[in-house]
Amino acid sequence: MMTPRQRRMMWVALMVAGVSLAAFFALTAFQKNLLYFYTPSQIASGEAPKGYPFRLGGLVVKDSVKREPDSLTVRFEVSDGPNAVPVLYTGILPDLFREGQGIIAVGQIDDGGTFQATEVLAKHDENYMPPEVAESLKKNGQLPADYSEYQKK
C-alpha cells in the first residue's frame, strides 16, 4: 500500500511523462511539416535534402519554359544567377508565371537532379519579389537595378 505522499509523487511523475510525450509528438509533427527555402546555388552545393519537400526560389530562366503537348506538364529552369535547377511541374501554372519572373516552387529533388514541383507560386503583382529570392539574387549580383521599386510595393 502506498502512502499519500507516494501517490502524489506517482501522479506528478505521470503528468510530467504525459506532458513530455505530448511535447515530443508536437515537435516531431512540426519538424515534418517545415518547408525550408533553398536557392539553386544551395541545391548545386548539395545543401538541399534529398527525399524531403522544400521550397526552391529564383527567376525563371528565359527561353527555358517547355510545355508538353496535350498535357499540363511543364519543364523550366529556375536560376539565382550562377546556378540553375531544372523543374518539372504538372498542373495549371499561376496567371502571373512567365520567363524572367521570380517564383517559389514547392517539391523535392529526384535522383536525376530535377526538382519535381507539386506547387508553383508566382509573385502577386508586377513589382513584388519574394524576399528570399531578392536576397539570393543580391548575394549573386543578379538583383535588378530598380530593386528599390520592389521594396516599396
Catalogue the long-range contacts made by 45-48 (C-beta closer than 8 Å, 24 or more residues apart). 48/109
Q: Is 147 marked as binding a ligand?
A: no
* Cβ neighbours for 85, distance < 8 A, ≥ 6 positions apart: 40, 43, 44, 56, 58, 77, 78, 79, 113, 114, 115
Whole-angstrom CA distances from 58 to 8, 10, 26, 119, 138 are 58, 56, 32, 14, 11
Q: Is 128 marked as binding a ligand?
A: yes
Q: Which residues are annotated as a binding site for heme?
A: 124, 128
Q: Which residues are annotated as a binding site?
A: 124, 128
